[in-house]
Amino acid sequence: MDDFERVLHRARGLVVSLDEEPGVNPSMGTREFGLRDPDGYRVMVSALQAD
């Protein structure tokens, strides 16, 4: 996604806690975080580009 901070803020409002706090994916160099959807599936959200 192209607005990582906005999506992170929104995600924090939708779940009790993130499954994985924001960090940098060493393989891609992009920021990402993880959460669980209502069915329990893990979803990783990644920035469109590296900073």
pLDDT tens digits along 10-35 = 999 999 999 999 999 999 999 999 99
20: CB partners within 8 A, 6+ apart: 32, 33, 34, 35, 44
Q: Pseudo-torsion of CA 9, 13, 15, 16, nearest 10°?
A: 110
4 vs 51 pLDDT, higher one: 4
Q: Count of CB atoms within 10 A of residue 34's CB?
A: 16
- Domains of the chain, by residue range, sit at 4-46
- Structure pTM? 0.84
| Distance (Å, whole) CA 20 – CA 41 | 13
